[in-house]
Structure 1
Amino acid sequence: MDILRVQDLQNLINLEQHFFISIYMPTFSSGVDIRQNPVKFKQLLRKAESKLYDFEMRKEEVETFLKLATNLVGETKFWQNQSEGLAIFIYADGMKYFRLPFKFKESVTVSNKIYVKPLLPLFTGNGQFNILALSKNEVRLFRCTRQNIIEIELEDAPDNMYDMQVDDDAKTNLLIRTSNTVGPNQLVYNKVTQGQGNEIDYERKELTRYFRAIDKSLLNMEYDENIPLVLAGVEYLIPIYREKSNYPYIVEDFIRGNPEILSPEELHQKAWEIVEPIFTKDQKQAQKKYSQYCGQDNELYLNNLEKIIPAAFNGQIESLFLDNSISKWGKFDHATNKVQFHKEEKNGNEDLMEYACILTLSRGGKVFAVDKSKVPDENHIAAVLRY
């Protein structure tokens, strides 16, 4: 699976090209069904090809434009290593793809902008969270959404605590003998108690090195991302990891017990019980603020897309609610701070609902893509402002 960050979305949005092809498709990650992945992708490429011809591109231009994607059809290893969904973006200068724990509805879009709206649920109230399953014998990292869980590789992390041992013969666990004149019983007592103390100190030292290596790998993968992390492990390991970790978004509660005996599905169920109140809390607090500001009739709430777009561009939006099933086409002029609406999609315009989301996320705001009934005022879009 690939990691998708808000910055990745912003980078895609900022690409300036004449044509983009955005392809979304559900994929199979195991079993004989994985053979369907390249077949389905090839069918979607044919649709993209047809759309390019509609823009009066010549056959040679179309073949050149789709060359990287066409070559991908034959990459057997790629298709054997999929998650729940695949997002592929093709443009004249290259191609980017993300294998994600999210089952996309199949679609092909050709426009002058990357179509990222199907990705927005990954960054909203039912968005992404991680599970880190810790034990001495193994470490597993899972990326999750409300619906899905997929294991991802912790690059450059040790497989287990014993990988971190510097000296396998280490003598560190040798019992310390102390001579005394009291008698044999006292000598035995010193051997046992001091030996146990050394063993505990040695184990904690090895755990510290082990956990720091895991944390370093996690931070490298999740740099500057506020994705909640749920820990899973026996109770005495968790505070040690918390103490040594620099990851800033570790959830307070954790999954108790040996994670080695829990399936990914069991871990996912237990973790969602922990993180659901967190996601719900943010949404409820935002709804409460909106109602409060609306009741006060102040200037800290908006429910008009024409005003929301400039506010989002200027970083004013703290929370944004929207009906993700609705598209509003048009253009935003940064120079004049004005929004132009168009009745339908055409080359040169963009989905302003999607654009408001990207602007909000890229400036540190929160987005809640929900049913229209859950948007404040039962409008298509609503926002709580910072100022």
Structure 2
Amino acid sequence: MTNAFKGIPEELLKPHASPCVSIFMPTSRTFPDNTQDPVRFKNLVSRAEADGIAFSTKREMAPLIERLRLLQDDASFWNHTLDGLAVFISPDYFRIFRLQQSVLEQAHVTDAFYIRPLIRIYQIVERFQVLALTRSEVKLYEGTRDHLDEIELAPEVPKTMTDALGTEITPPHMTIASYGGTGTAMRHGHSSRKDEEALDNERFFRAVDQGINEYHSSSSGLPLVLVALPEHQGLFRSISRNQRLVAEGIEIDPAALGLEAMRQKAWQVMEPYRERKIDQMIARFREAEGGKLGSDNPYAIAIAAVAGNVSHLLLDGQKFWPGQIDPVSGDILLDEASQASGRDVFEELGAAVLARGGEVLVLPSERMPSASGVAAIFRHD
């Protein structure tokens, strides 16, 4: 069974040139609260600079801090934040994530990116995308039960029919013929205007489907809800190759929906879809548990996780367990030092599983198949 929720971008799990700077902070969507966000970011950059110089050298940190200061001074960026922010930078990588959930304020400089705060956000089962499609415009949104926000389309995805077809948009073709030697000209259309529009629609939708699938759905792994007129729903679905396109769509002109109305309708589609996915995963865990290939014992799971023996991990989205995991033995450390570090055993479990090619799914507490807050399916006994 393939997990439909890939979550954390794979490039964050790959090795990068050191030093790797990871910055997290809560942000505000609205004025005047968002005026404090650049100040908080400035302080975090200063903290990262000091820690980075101690970890590596001032010379290695200087170009990274310079890029972060440019972001700090970018007023347009801070006018378009969401509920949280994650920034990752190294000598060979720079990426910013606007988050739909708040995160604790923190900065880390190590030889790998610190991704643990993203686990509960990016592996949550409630995440989805919405494709709003008309003949004239394409928009993509990402959301959860509570939020829906437009996201920037990859440059390769056409935003309009002109982007997709350019000068190849089919014009009406007319010919003039003379009959009976009378010199009377007769006009004949090779195809009706309706046929021409249908052809353009098909070519446009095919280009959109290819772009969304390749540059958004495949990388995010998120289910995709289509918002379009009924006739466009049918055409798009007949040509789509996107395996993440949800069977039920929203049959309405996207222009007739405000953002909040679109979120509500999308969640009406996604809620039963989410429940089915959870049911399937729980059933698989129960089957594995009965065959000694599943466990809800966090100590056993931690050992299996660092050994690369966890194929699927289910985490309770509301439970936290202060502590950390020994990266070699898998021992769970609950001493005062590990608890004071602010690290969470469940997030460390998730990071260990993801780093070794496993899949993680964060569930609401009421749907967890165990009271421990964690459940795992092993690759072998």
In the superposition, the TM-score normalised over structure 1's length comes to 0.76
Alpha carbons of structure 1 residues 287 and 213: separation in structure 2 relative to 1, 3 Å: closer
1:194-343 to 2 correspondence within 5 Å? 198-222=192-216, 223-291=218-286, 294=289, 296=290, 298-312=291-305, 313-314=307-308, 316-322=310-316, 324-333=319-328, 338-342=329-333, 343=335
The 8 Å contact of residues 116 and 351 in structure 2, kept in 1 or not, is answered as: no
Distance (whole Å) between structure 2 residues aligned to residue 63 and residue 168 of structure 1: 50
Task: Say yes or no: does 1:356 pair with 2:349.
Answer: yes
In the superposition, the TM-score normalised over structure 2's length comes to 0.78
Distance (whole Å) between structure 2 residues aligned to residue 224 and residue 58 of structure 1: 35
Which residue among 13, 31, 53 is the counterpart of 1:10?
Answer: 13
Comparing 97-106 with 267-276, which one deviates more in the overlay?
A: 97-106
For residue 237 of structure 1, report the CA deviation from its aligned partner.
Answer: 0.6
Alpha carbons of structure 1 residues 304 and 211: separation in structure 2 relative to 1, 3 Å: same
Task: Specify the alignment match of 1:187 in structure 2.
Answer: none
For residue 258 of structure 1, report the CA deviation from its aligned partner.
Answer: 0.9
Task: Say yes or no: does 1:89 pair with 2:88.
Answer: yes
The 8 Å contact of residues 138 and 159 in structure 1, kept in 2 or not, is answered as: yes
Task: Specify the alignment match of 1:79 in structure 2.
Answer: 78
For residue 232 of structure 1, report the CA deviation from its aligned partner.
Answer: 0.5
For residue 319 of structure 1, report the CA deviation from its aligned partner.
Answer: 4.0
For residue 213 of structure 1, report the CA deviation from its aligned partner.
Answer: 2.2
Distance (whole Å) between structure 1 residues aligned to residue 273 and residue 137 of structure 2: 28
**Paired letter, 2:250:** I
**Paired letter, 1:82:** T
**Paired letter, 1:72:** L
Distance (whole Å) between structure 1 residues aligned to residue 283 and residue 44 of structure 2: 43
Gaps in structure 2 of 5+ consecutive residues: 1-5, 181-186
Alpha carbons of structure 1 residues 100 and 178: separation in structure 2 relative to 1, 3 Å: farther
For residue 341 of structure 1, report the CA deviation from its aligned partner.
Answer: 3.6
> What is the percentage of aligned positions where both structures have the same residue?
24
Aligned residues: 361
**Paired letter, 1:10:** L
Question: What's the CA shift string for 1:257-309, capped at 9, x where partnerless?
Answer: 11111112211111111112222222233334444555x4x312112334323
The 8 Å contact of residues 121 and 369 in structure 1, kept in 2 or not, is answered as: no
Gaps in structure 1 of 5+ consecutive residues: 181-190
SS in 1 for 2:321: coil
Alpha carbons of structure 1 residues 224 and 201: separation in structure 2 relative to 1, 3 Å: same
Task: Let me know the Cα RMSD of the aligned residues.
Answer: 4.0
Alpha carbons of structure 1 residues 119 and 201: separation in structure 2 relative to 1, 3 Å: same
Question: What's the CA shift string for 1:202-245, capped at 9, x where partnerless?
Answer: 11210112112222321342234421110011111112112222
Task: Specify the alignment match of 2:116 in structure 1.
Answer: 117
The 8 Å contact of residues 125 and 361 in structure 2, kept in 1 or not, is answered as: no
Distance (whole Å) between structure 2 residues aligned to residue 168 and residue 318 of structure 1: 47
Alpha carbons of structure 1 residues 176 and 206: separation in structure 2 relative to 1, 3 Å: farther
Task: Specify the alignment match of 2:172 in structure 1.
Answer: 171
**Paired letter, 2:331:** Q
The 8 Å contact of residues 231 and 238 in structure 1, kept in 2 or not, is answered as: yes
